[in-house]
Chains A and B, each alone.
Chain A
Amino acid sequence: MSGLTIVRGRRTLGQRIVAALSTGVVNIVLAVVAVFWLVPTVGLFIASFRSSADNSQSGWWTVFLKPAQLTLENYEDLLANPTITGSFLNTVLIVVPTTILVIVIGALAAYAFSWMHFPGRDWMLIAVIVLLAVPLQVALIPIAKLFGAIGIFGSIVGVILFHVAFGLPFAIFLLRNFFSQLPAELLEAARIDGASEARIFARVVFPLGLPAIASLGIFQFLWTWNDLLVALIFSNSTSQPITVAIQSQLRQFGANIDVLSSGAFLSMVIPLVVFFGFQRYFVQALLAGSNR
């Protein structure tokens, strides 16, 4: 056995050169692919800082030769456009309450499903998981009718309610996976001390579940921010979020990238900030889901 261990790792010079070369080739290929992966986004970003005349005459890459062509013109126009600024505000007004409601309602239900016992619990849990597969298309028309009847069709409230309902299956699924792996001793100790369920939830489960809650929050935030279909149907011209506003410009202006690029980039800024700010939580969320 010890003989084998010594043999391991001892390679001839030739083998080491081959290994180094193949690693080098792999790295170069990776780097080239990564550049291609990045080019569309970077191109859009640069185009958003060029005038319409420049954009129609030359490619955005000429900026590296003539940096003087960069201008804030498109963003000035954009911020002077009340449709865009209003829709940006609408997006915030939709996304923030949606994310908070999904977390609170989802966490309460996930606690009940993981640490409380009640009749029919297992069947309800199966129903929750099945509903993960239900596409929201199936609910659009009846809910549109319902919202019309109670007078919230076209309002921000309607958009929020719909997002919350369709965010819950994933929220409960993800949080229940995480909560059910918390150490039973901690909860038992709290119960023996006479803590109420509400207190155990607020003082033990919620703080310990924060990593999963953080990642759920990020996912829900991004989904709601990026949604087009729900907003297209349930919002109107005064309550539309930025994705709908950009979509209607896309149909109106087609290839006029100077009009579109700044708006598109505005819609991307917040998701990018969230992504770069909370990168490590993405992995944690998925780990929590893949532990079984």
Chain B
Amino acid sequence: MTATLAAPPPTARRRPRRGGASVWLFALPALLAYAAFLVYPALQSVELSLTDWNGISPTRHFVGLQNYVDMFQDDTALLALRNNAVWTIVTITVPVVLGLLLAVLLSGATRLKPLLRTVFYMPAVLPLVAIATIWGWLYEPNEGAINVALRDVGLGFLAQSWLGQSSTALLAVMIPAIWVRTGFPMVLYLAALQGIPAELYESARTEGATRWQQFWYITMPSLRPAHYIVIALSLIDSFKVFDLVYAMTYGGPGNTTQVLGTLMYFNVFRFYHAGYGTAIAVVITLIAIACGIPYVLSQTRAERR
């Protein structure tokens, strides 16, 4: 330490200064918040998930991995896990593909394009509760716009209780999710498209490349960092699904739209199975971290460089 100070290597001026006590003044508030609200609760969740705690009682008993074993024998939990998987795949694939398509079509600054970009991004800023209100109303069996429109064009036999029957409920909740989530990949891809040098396209055209070839051989490879961010953030985010399902179907009808997030909530705060609910929360966390690992690795590799 002192040796470094006495004889700084030639690169020392470029390197960040070794901070003294002031480092802790800068980092401490954040580290304290982390310790109190993230690290400590996460560890305590693991502990609670190994107990039979009901959420109110002052006592709880250690039950080992019983809650986790129960989860794999609980049909509702397995259905919720399956719904989470379906939800994650659909609400990532469709918005990312649609967002990329829109970004390619809407890059540039002609009069209409900025307006259209705004239209497609706007749902992303709305509260999910407001979105649940809008779509719940569109789906309403008697007065809802979807059934009314179907009847008006003579397709009345297709009108149905979209959110009220198990065959369509999950799909009916995923459609608003797609509506909300398409804007984010679009905006990110639009930003990334701006970074591709125009000369690349010019020389490709010179060589007679079609627009399709330009897309596959120039646009897609150039968007690789953007793909990474879009997919990683969507994956992390998708697994936390709660608001839309909670507000639109409350996990019903029956339990057919239950996802892990709502099931955790109901177990802890409605059914007094806090130990079991916490075990579900731990499982959500583990899966979300597993989904995030490739991204974390790429980030830390970038750090080391």
Contact = CB atoms under 8 A, between A and B. Distances in A.
B284 A135 contact: yes
B220 interface: no
A244 to B, nearest CB: 8
A236 interface: no
B206 A165 contact: no
A196 B191 CA distance: 36
Contact of A132 (B42, B135, B236): B236
B86 interface: no
A162 interface: yes
Interface residues of B, number: 100
B52 interface: no
B19 A116 contact: yes
B198 interface: no
B37 interface: yes
Nearest to B264: A137
Given A109-B26, A135-B240, A255 B143 contact: yes
A43 B135 CA distance: 11
Interface string A106-150: 101101111111100010111111111111111111110110000
A256 to B, nearest CB: 10
Contact of A130 (B48, B116, B121, B289): B289
Nearest to B274: A141
Contacts of A271: 125-127
Contacts of B177: none
Given A135-B285, A271-B126, A165 B23 contact: no
B13 interface: yes
27 contacts: A34-B116, A37-B120, A59-B145, A106-B30, A109-B27, A109-B31, A115-B17, A116-B18, A118-B18, A134-B38, A134-B42, A135-B281, A135-B285, A138-B284, A138-B285, A141-B278, A142-B45, A169-B38, A197-B19, A250-B133, A257-B143, A260-B133, A265-B130, A267-B130, A272-B122, A282-B187, A292-B225
Given A165-B36, A184-B14, A286-B188, 19 more contacts: A37-B179, A40-B179, A111-B26, A112-B27, A113-B27, A116-B17, A118-B18, A127-B34, A140-B281, A161-B37, A188-B13, A229-B242, A246-B130, A246-B133, A255-B143, A261-B133, A263-B133, A287-B191, A292-B225
Interface of B: 13-19, 22-23, 25-27, 29-31, 33-34, 36-38, 40-42, 44-45, 48, 55, 102, 105-106, 112, 116, 118-123, 125-130, 132-138, 140, 142-145, 148, 179, 187-188, 190-192, 202, 205-206, 225-226, 229, 236, 239-240, 242-243, 246-247, 250, 261, 264-265, 268-269, 274, 277-278, 281-282, 284-285, 288-289, 291-292, 295-296, 299-300, 302-304
Interface of A: 4-5, 8-9, 26-27, 30-31, 34, 37-38, 40-41, 43-44, 47, 55-56, 59-60, 105-106, 108-109, 111-118, 122, 124-143, 145-146, 161-162, 164-166, 168-169, 172, 184, 188, 191, 196-198, 201, 222, 225-226, 228-229, 232-233, 242-243, 246-247, 250-251, 255, 257, 260-261, 263-265, 267-268, 271-272, 274-276, 279, 282-283, 286-287, 289-290, 292
